[in-house]
Structure 1
């Protein structure tokens, strides 16, 4: 039984690392786009859509992180 618990735990940790990487990617990309927009002082709808997209993706991945952490806590 411990073998399967360890396998599941390792899988969950791997998934958590992937999720954290995706959150970091979307945060950094969004911040970069926001800085570029602030420097240009232009209202660029395409850039605004990209910022909105990355913000939505951050929320989704943070929700996934919470769910996975909850699962990991319950399986201990």
Structure 2
């Protein structure tokens, strides 16, 4: 009778340990899936843009485009 109780307890411990290992693996894989599926893992939209550099005087919005600059006539004081 004692051996039957001891063997049942041993089987119970083995089953509980196997279940704990399987549940632990399942939780870690679920957590990994959730972590990959989180929107935080995706690139976030830019909410703050750095201030633009001031343009030199006389430049227009075509700052980076090469263009021919025609000198303007200088009007002197009369």
Q: What TM-score do you get using the length of structure 2 for normalisation?
A: 0.49
2:42 corresponds to which residue? 40
Q: How far apart, CA to CA, are the structure 2 residues paired with 1:40 and 1:26? A: 24
The DSSP-based 3-state class of the residue aligned with 2:11 is: helix
Q: How far apart, CA to CA, are the structure 2 residues paired with 1:16 and 1:34? A: 26
1:3 correspondence with 2:3: yes
Q: Please identify the structure whose Cα radius of gyration is greater.
A: 2
Segments of structure 1 that go 5 or more residues without pairing to the other structure are: 42-76
Q: What is the number of residues matched between the two proteins?
A: 41
Segments of structure 2 that go 5 or more residues without pairing to the other structure are: 44-78
